[in-house]
Amino acid sequence: MAPHAEIANGDGPVNRGGVSAPTNQKVTFKVQSPNVEYTESQIRSKYTYHTTEVSKVNGQYVAVPKETKYDFTVDTKVPKLGMMLVGWGGNNGSTVTAGIIANRRRLSWQTRRGEQKANYYGSLIMGSTIKLGTDAETRKDVNIPFHDLLPMVHPNDIVIGGWDISKLNLAESMDRAQVLEPGLKALVAKEMATMVPLPSIYYPDFIAANQEKRADNVLEGTKASMAHVEKIRQDIRDFKAANNLDRVIVQWTANTERFADLIEGVNDTADNLLKAIENGHPFINGSPQNTFVPGAVELAERHKAFVGGDDFKSGQTKMKSALVDFLINAGIKLTSVASYNHLGNNDGKNLSEQRQFRSKEISKSNVIDDMVEANTVLYAPGEKPDHTVVIKYMPAVGDDKRALDEYYAEIFLGGHQTISLFNVCEDSLLASPLIIDLVLITELFTRIKWKAASTDGAATKGFEGFHSVLSVLSYMLKAPLTPPGTPVVNALAKQRSALINIMRGCLGLQPESDMTLEHKLF
Ligand SMILES: NC(=O)c1ccc[n+]([C@@H]2O[C@H](COP(=O)([O-])OP(=O)(O)OC[C@H]3O[C@@H](n4cnc5c(N)ncnc54)[C@H](O)[C@@H]3O)[C@@H](O)[C@H]2O)c1
Ligand SMILES: O=P([O-])([O-])O[C@@H]1[C@@H](O)[C@H](O)[C@@H](O)[C@H](O)[C@@H]1O
C-alpha cells in the first residue's frame, strides 16, 4: 500500500484517481450590498476599514477617525485538500486522523456512558457560531455556523498523509497513543492500518535522547541535507499527484525540538536556508521551537508561501489567554501566575529533557505580555506579574494532562484574589481540532486576495495575498508568529474577533461591534 493515506469511505479506499465530491457546501446566506458582487467563481467586495489614528500634540492625545478602502476577492471554488503531518504517528496525528474518519463515516460507538457519536467539538470552525447580524423583524441576533461564513473545505474531505520517524502504521500508532475508546478504535482500525508514515529526517540532537528507540523510519544519513530536502519535496509532489489534490498543507505535530541557534550565514537569510519552501506549500508549526528563523520567513516571503505557528494553544495556555484578559481588563492587578502541569504521554517524555522543555517554557511564558503592557494604569513600564511554568513527566496519567494554575491578584484597597484551577486536559483530544482549524483557515486564506482601493481614480497595485506570516492563525497558537515588526496579540477574544471580522470584511460587512444600539436607542 502506498505510504500515504487514502481515507476510505468505509467501503474500500477512495479511488486514487477519483475526486471525491466535496461534502455539500450549504449556502446559508448572501450579502445584498452595492459593495459586494458574486460572480461564478468569486466573491468581490469593497470594504472601508475604520480605525482611529492617535498622535500626541502638546502632551495630549489627539484621536482622528481614519478610513482605508480595500478591494477583496475570495475564490469560491473549494479545493481538494491534502494535509501532510510531520509526526503523523504521534498522539495528535493518529487522533486527528481517526477523528476525521469517524466524522466522515458518521460513526458512533459504545462507551461506558452509552452511545457516542463522532463530532468536531473543540474546533473553532466546526464547533462554534458567529453573529451574522440582527433579524430585521425580531431585532434578535442571527447566528450562523462559523464554517458557513465563507466557502471552506469540510474536514471530512481532507486527505491525510505525512511522515514519522516511527514506522508504526496509524492503527498501531493509535493503540500506542492510548487516547481513543476501544469502540471507536475498532471501527477505524482497518482503514488506519493501511496508512503508513513516510520515513522522515531525524536529527537526534534536536529532540530528546529518550526518543531514539522510536526512530526506526528515518532517511539515511545523520544530518539533514539537500538530498533529504529534495526527498521531502518529492514526497509532497507524489502525495499531491497520487490523491489528485489541488493543494497540500504541511503541519508539524512532531516532537518539540530544541531552539535553533540563529547562525549568520546558515539560517539568517533566505539564500542561506533550505529551498523546501520554494514549492509554496503552506507550513504550520504546531510545536514551540523557533522553526521560522529569519531565513525561513524571508524565504516564505520571497515565494509567497504561508507559514504559521507556533505551538498549538490547547489547554492551560488557552485558558490563561482568556482569564488574564478578563482579569486585567476588569482592572484587577494580576501579580503572579503559577502554571504547573504533568502529563504521561510521549510529548511529556520528550519535554522531560531540559532543552526541549525550554522551547515549551518560552512559548508558554510570553502569553500574558500584550495584556499586561496594554494596561499602564495597573503596571508601570516594564512591570509584570511573576510567571512560572513547570512541566513534569508522569507516565501514569498518559495523555490526560493535569494543569494546575494559581492566579494571584491585588484588588480594591489592598485586598487579594486567589484563583486556583485544576484542569484535566485530554491533550490530543484538545489539540486535534486545532490541527483541523489551522489547515482550514490556512487553505481559505490561500484563496483571499486584497488590494488598496483607488480613491482618486489613480491605478493601484494589483491584487495580492496576505503577508506570508499568517498571523490570523493566532487563536490556535500559544506563541503567534507575526510579520516582522508587527505586534503579537495573545488575548483570546481579540484573536477570535480579528479572524471573524477579516472574514466579514471579505463580504463587505463591518465588524460586529456588540454595541447593539438597536436595543438601547429607542
Ligand atoms: N495538547 C497537545 O497535545 C499539544 C498542545 C500543544 C503543542 N503540542 C505539541 O504537538 C507536538 C505533538 O504532540 P503529540 O502529543 O502528538 O506528541 P507525540 O510525541 O505523541 O508525537 C510526536 C510524533 O513526532 C514523531 N517525530 C519526532 N521527530 C520527527 C521528525 N523529525 N519527523 C517526523 N516525525 C517525527 C514522533 O515519532 C512522534 O510519533 C509536540 O511537539 C507537542 O509539544 C501538543
Ligand atoms: O497548550 P497548553 O495546555 O498550555 O500546553 C501544553 C503543555 O502544558 C503540555 O505540557 C504539553 O503536553 C502540551 O504540548 C501543551 O503544550
Whether 428 lines ligand 1, by a CB cut-off of 6 Å, is yes
Name residues contacting ligand 2 (CB within 6 A): 313-317, 341, 343, 347-348, 351, 360, 364, 391, 401, 403, 425, 427, 478
Considering 313, 349, 401, 449, which one is annotated as catalytic? Answer: 401
How far apart are the C-alpha atoms of 174 and 91, rounded to whole Å?
Answer: 7
Which residue type is seen at 503? M
Q: Closest ligand to 177 CA?
A: 1
* Ligand 1 atom with the shortest distance to the CA of 255: 41
Tell me the C-alpha distance between 106 and 442, whole Å.
25
Decide if 392 is catalytic.
no
282 lines ligand 1 (CB under 6 A): no
Cell numbers representing residue 310 in the block: 507556533
Active site residue 311: yes
Cα 66 from chain centroid (whole Å): 31
pLDDT tens, position by position, 337-362:
999 999 999 999 999 999 999 999 99
What pLDDT, on a 0 to 100 scale, did the predictor assign at position 23?
54
Closest ligand (CA of 311): 1
Q: What is the pLDDT of residue 58?
A: 96
DSSP lists the bridge partners of residue 46 as 71
Is 252 within 8 Å of 87 (Cβ atoms)?
yes
Reduced to 3 states, what is the DSSP secondary structure of residue 82? Answer: strand
pLDDT of amino acid 220: 85
CB of 214 within 6 A of ligand 1: the answer is yes
Q: Pick the catalytic residue: 360, 399, 437, 449? A: 360
Which residue numbers in the chain have pLDDT < 70? 1-27, 222-224, 263, 265-267, 272-279
Which set of grid coordinates corresponds to residue 148? 458557513
Q: For residues 308 and 473, what is the distance between their CA atoms, to the nearest angstrom? A: 7
Q: What is the DSSP code string of 389-456? A: EEEEE-GGGTTEEEEEEEEEEE-GGG-EEEEEEEEEEEHHHHHHHHHHHHHHHHHHHTTEEEEEPPSS
The single-letter DSSP state of residue 201 is -
The widest CA-to-CA distance across the chain, in whole angstroms, is: 74
Quick check: helix, strand or coil at residue 101? helix
Our answer on whether the CB atom of 165 is closer than 6 Å to any ligand 1 atom is yes
* Residues contacting residue 86 through CB under 8 Å, at least 6 positions apart: 162, 163, 164, 200, 250, 251, 252, 253, 254
Instruction: Count CB neighbours of 428 within 10 A.
Output: 29
CA of 522 to the centre of ligand 1 (A): 55
Global pTM value: 0.92
> Can you tell me the distance from the alpha carbon of 253 to that of 91, in angstroms, rounded to the nearest whole number?
9
Q: Is 207 in the pocket of ligand 1 (CB under 6 A)?
A: yes
Q: Find the catalytic residue in 311, 347, 399, 427.
A: 311
Q: How much distance in Å is there from the Cα of 470 to the middle of ligand 2?
A: 22
CB 62 within 8 A of CB 139: no
CB–CB of 87/428 below 8 Å? no
Instruction: Specify the long-range contacts of residues 118-123, CB closer than 8 Å, at least 24 apart.
Output: 120/155, 120/433, 120/436, 121/433, 122/429, 122/430, 122/432, 122/433, 122/434, 123/155, 123/433, 123/434, 123/436, 123/437
CB 189 within 8 A of CB 56: no
Q: Is 69 a catalytic residue?
A: no
Has 360 been annotated as catalytic?
yes
CB of residue 438 inside a 6 A radius of ligand 1: no
Nearest protein Cα to ligand 1, atom 2:
427
* CA atoms within 13 A of residue 119's CA, in its CB half-sphere: 10
Instruction: Map residue 225 onto helix, strand or coil.
Output: coil
CA-derived radius of gyration, the chain: 24
Burial class (CB in 10 A: 0-12, 13-18, 19+), 465: middle
Ligand nearest to the CA of 391: 2
Ligand found nearest the CA of 424: 2
